[in-house]
Amino acid sequence: MQFCPKCGGIMMPVGRRDGKIVLKCTRCGYEMLVDAKEASRHYRLETRVPSEERVVTTSRVSEGGGRLRDQEEWEQEREEYREVLLEQLQEELEGTE
Ligand SMILES: [Zn+2]
């Protein structure tokens, strides 16, 4: 997973330019280019998050009340992004190798 150097938002692959993957920040719109293989390594590693993490996060939130709700939403958002960008990356990489 790549994070925005400016705001810490999630960098989503949005396309390809000059043979590289274009990552765009979902928060501030900052763009950066990464090597396709480099990108796939980062994102594959991140998708191997054990399912237990979700359970722990959820239970922690229900105990903690409203203060952690943003974090839970943020986690869910990240999960969705992981799935989407993995699909996108696989499509991208099929063409390069
Ligand atoms: Zn940003």
Which DSSP string corresponds to 1-61? --B-TTT--BEEEEEEETTEEEEEETTT--EEEEEHHHHHHHHHHHHT--THHHHHHHHHH
> Is residue 82 domain-resident?
yes
21 CA → ligand 1 middle, Å: 17
Its domain, for residue 35, covers: 11-96
Residue 86 lies in a domain: yes
Task: Compute, in angstroms, the gap from residue 31 CA to the centroid of ligand 1.
Answer: 8
Domain count, the chain: 1
C-alpha 81 – ligand 1 centre gap (Å):
15
Asked if residue 85 is part of any domain, the answer here is: yes
Structure confidence by residue, pLDDT tens digits, 31-83: 999 888 887 777 665 555 455 555 555 555 555 555 566 778 888 878 877 78
- Domain-located, residue 2: no
* DSSP β-ladder status, 20-25 and 11-17: antiparallel
Tell me whether residue 1 is in a domain.
no
Per-residue confidence at 19, pLDDT binned at 50, 70, 90? confident
Whether 49 is covered by a domain: the verdict is yes
Torsion of CA 78, 45, 64, 60, to 10 degrees: 130
The Å distance, Cα 10 to ligand 1 centre, comes to 7
pTM above 0.85, yes or no: no
Do residues 7 and 27 lie in contact, with contact meaning Cβ atoms separated by under 8 Å? yes
